[in-house]
Structure 1
């Protein structure tokens, strides 16, 4: 009986979701919106143009299996970034730098884990909210796993700190260039407008996330058997330290190199349009610097790098397969049908309920459109005019979008960054889902309250395009 109830491997869960998407392409009416090319070269849908497809595409079983290697190819930037980070961190660990850093942090936070948790959640939320960082956190996962392990906590706590900070930062961002700014641009409201509300709700939502992680950590600290990852091999298994090395000047130089790498990467993302290819290059440079400063010979450094890459083969496979779900829905022409089907009923709801409905719709669609900017281009051209008709200001429609996109980043298995983080920490997806679902419900309740109050107090009315108001009245 137990074997029948056993939760399958995360890879099986993702393949099952791909299979469901494949079956859906046979059952769901196929259709699409017309699209236009914007000044920045991105495609956006045209409201009111949805039509059923003239020619129905019938995907074959062979198409399903071909989608798997295609998905791996489509997610290659994240996959190879994960490989590079894993290999470079293995080099850093061989120099003793990671262990020395953990030892130093233990001296500072060993008896104050709540301070560590709040600091990490707050810092990552700030960075994600300001400049849209996400994949940049992957290098810190194993460091936090080692630190939590030394503090008698578990890998779930480490993942919670990273992912909760990242998800809440995106969800309540004041000016994330990849989500909020794009959504405002598409909705035709001034960039950076409405920032006062988003700044006001930042800390309350961060505290909700912090409390969730801290309450779990306290439970594990008091009763290790209550850990959700009991019996799950830790990625650092067999590397227990009785005494941590002293953080010497060589280690500090390597850590300074890491900080400089992240700072340059953040600058490149915000100012030069960099992304994962450039980030990978920066970490390769840091890896070479680490090997030289750590006095590793070339062969030893190469061996450690390959070992680190091998350890993340499972993670890379999960990241790639996760992309296949959306890929099959795009091939089967049902993605726009789902968007249309979910947006149409909103026009018959009252403004307060419709604003929450927009949020729920965006949450669901993030499963199928895991790109924040991609989701903005697909959904905001529809949500903005729907809001005009039912009395939901476009600023509120943008807020509903960023809540739905940001918070669900923490739980949808199609999010490549999430799968990379939990894979690196050795946390199975079903256990992460069990940890994260209660937090998602709390965040959704708080977000729904904010949206209802935003409608009641007419948030964003001063920036509502006059042409949209006139069109809605006519």
Structure 2
């Protein structure tokens, strides 16, 4: 395997005259800054409007029949600059989770457990074809996210997968896509997504997580399509490394070296502790209803349990934890720009106007057409409200009466909303989590868009077919 890796990596070496420095690339902050400026300008041209909010089982939801235009509210320089603070404040919970996860994996990385585990896996799979490796990894990652909806944690999986894939002769896009495309399938067609599906079902008065079998079928189909799409690109890169979308773009990621991993007694203890804590995390998310505070706490505990099991003192653990947080700083902070856009639209009171506009387009069609318009409406709204739970609370009270009026089952309306929200998260530049993951992988957004956009169109066609079939089979219970 080691000889093979050396031979493969020679073909992937980037010539000095082709390499681009970090200063040559567009920083994600700049791209989001442009979007924020556009949002401020557009918000001053879109009429202000509002729906009435009513209490519903401890939540505030929208009265679908209450929209009316209000006096136009303008935003300017003041709102532009304060949006940075409010964007940071709005996404602070998710940023905290990412920081704590980064700190935990900083410990795992610095004691050598991460590299040793990857090398051990590489050695075990030395005679296994890459297509099998990718299939197994995508299935495991996608299934986990299909039940937990925690695709944000993909950011901590990137450093595990990319070095292995580089050693096998592929590029960062292939390595990152194993994680991101699996997350896309798992989140978009999630079986038990507490951040969208559960809320949508509750508002629609459906049994929570009902019709799971149908979403399971959609998940398998989507995962298979994502896998095939990735394999086509991977084969092209393996044949000619110059066709890589990131060819000539330098990165800190390196292929695994040719040393053989040695699992010492401390590493074995740390490995057992890591597996136990991560298993507890999955159990907590699936069975105990863990949210961001509990998940963050588990990552902090993981850092100390693993570090102590390895034999490190508390001072060393704190240092490694801090280094892990530092490594993920820019990837985590990029999220607040996306929320700054949402804050500007809220200040101008244009979000409800945008939703009302899409709602008017949905009525007066056949059930199949209405259901598919709901799908694309939700996908469009996701650009402005990149928050699954936020979208469910705002749009489902509108979707439900529209579904009733359009003779569409509420289950179908919830499915259309979930699919419309899920897949578009992986292409919109207003989604801070996506930008954070791409930054961690060293992939410019423009390159990712070029890679993912054709697949996104395919996934939307699959979603439309899934929604249409759901209408035809009367997917319910109602």
Which whole-Å CA distance do the structure 2 matches of 1:353 and 1:229 have between them? 40
Q: 2:153 maps to what in 1?
A: 136
Could you tell which deviates more after superposition, 294-303 or 337-346?
Answer: 294-303
Matched, 1:398 2:414: yes
Which whole-Å CA distance do the structure 1 matches of 2:318 and 2:212 have between them? 48
Q: 2:455 maps to what in 1?
A: 439
SS in 1 for 2:82: helix
Task: Work out which of the residue numbers 201, 209, 233 in structure 2 matches 1:184.
Answer: 201
Which whole-Å CA distance do the structure 2 matches of 1:8 and 1:139 have between them? 23
Number of residues paired by the alignment?
Answer: 454
Q: 1:226 maps to what in 2?
A: 243
Please say if residues 151 and 187 of structure 2, whose CA atoms lie closer than 8 Å, have aligned partners that are also in contact: no
Matched, 1:109 2:125: yes
Q: 1:14 maps to what in 2?
A: 32
SS in 1 for 2:61: strand
Q: 2:100 maps to what in 1?
A: 84
Q: 2:372 maps to what in 1?
A: 356
Pairwise CA distance, 1:300: 4.5
Please say if residues 109 and 115 of structure 1, whose CA atoms lie closer than 8 Å, have aligned partners that are also in contact: no
Matched, 1:25 2:14: no
Task: Work out which of the residue numbers 142, 146, 167 in structure 1 matches 2:163.
Answer: 146
Q: Residues 382-461 of structure 1: matches in 2 within 5 Å?
A: 382-460=398-476
SS in 1 for 2:114: helix
Q: Residues 68-467 of structure 1: matches in 2 within 5 Å?
A: 68-110=84-126, 111-237=128-254, 241-460=257-476, 463-464=477-478
Could you tell which deviates more after superposition, 263-272 or 398-407?
Answer: 263-272
Structure 1 residues 261 and 420: alpha-carbon distance in aligned structure 2, compared to 1, 3 A threshold: farther
Please say if residues 51 and 66 of structure 2, whose CA atoms lie closer than 8 Å, have aligned partners that are also in contact: yes
Pairwise CA distance, 1:113: 1.8
Please say if residues 53 and 62 of structure 2, whose CA atoms lie closer than 8 Å, have aligned partners that are also in contact: yes
Which whole-Å CA distance do the structure 2 matches of 1:205 and 1:152 have between them? 26
Which whole-Å CA distance do the structure 2 matches of 1:259 and 1:439 have between them? 34
Which whole-Å CA distance do the structure 2 matches of 1:193 and 1:311 have between them? 41
Q: 2:12 maps to what in 1?
A: none
Q: 1:471 maps to what in 2?
A: none
Please say if residues 71 and 321 of structure 1, whose CA atoms lie closer than 8 Å, have aligned partners that are also in contact: yes
Pairwise CA distance, 1:147: 1.5
Residue deviations 1:237-268, cap 9 Å, x none? Answer: 5x852314223443233233222222222333
Unaligned runs of 5+ in 1: 1-5, 465-474
Which whole-Å CA distance do the structure 2 matches of 1:325 and 1:256 have between them? 43
Which whole-Å CA distance do the structure 2 matches of 1:299 and 1:172 have between them? 43
Could you tell which deviates more after superposition, 307-316 or 321-330?
Answer: 307-316
Which whole-Å CA distance do the structure 2 matches of 1:308 and 1:192 have between them? 36
Which whole-Å CA distance do the structure 2 matches of 1:60 and 1:437 have between them? 33
Matched, 1:38 2:56: yes
Please say if residues 270 and 307 of structure 2, whose CA atoms lie closer than 8 Å, have aligned partners that are also in contact: no
Q: 1:468 maps to what in 2?
A: none
Please say if residues 337 and 432 of structure 2, whose CA atoms lie closer than 8 Å, have aligned partners that are also in contact: no
Pairwise CA distance, 1:7: 7.4
Could you tell which deviates more after superposition, 257-266 or 267-276?
Answer: 267-276
Which whole-Å CA distance do the structure 2 matches of 1:446 and 1:459 have between them? 17
Which whole-Å CA distance do the structure 1 matches of 2:110 and 2:207 have between them? 50
Pairwise CA distance, 1:199: 2.5
Pairwise CA distance, 1:303: 4.0
Which whole-Å CA distance do the structure 2 matches of 1:29 and 1:119 have between them? 50
Pairwise CA distance, 1:295: 3.7
Pairwise CA distance, 1:308: 3.0
Structure 1 residues 89 and 49: alpha-carbon distance in aligned structure 2, compared to 1, 3 A threshold: same
Unaligned runs of 5+ in 2: 1-23
Could you tell which deviates more after superposition, 448-457 or 28-37?
Answer: 448-457
Which whole-Å CA distance do the structure 2 matches of 1:81 and 1:178 have between them? 15
Q: Residues 31-70 of structure 1: matches in 2 within 5 Å?
A: 31-39=49-57, 41-53=58-70, 55-70=71-86
Pairwise CA distance, 1:301: 4.1
Could you tell which deviates more after superposition, 158-167 or 191-200?
Answer: 191-200
Pairwise CA distance, 1:299: 4.8
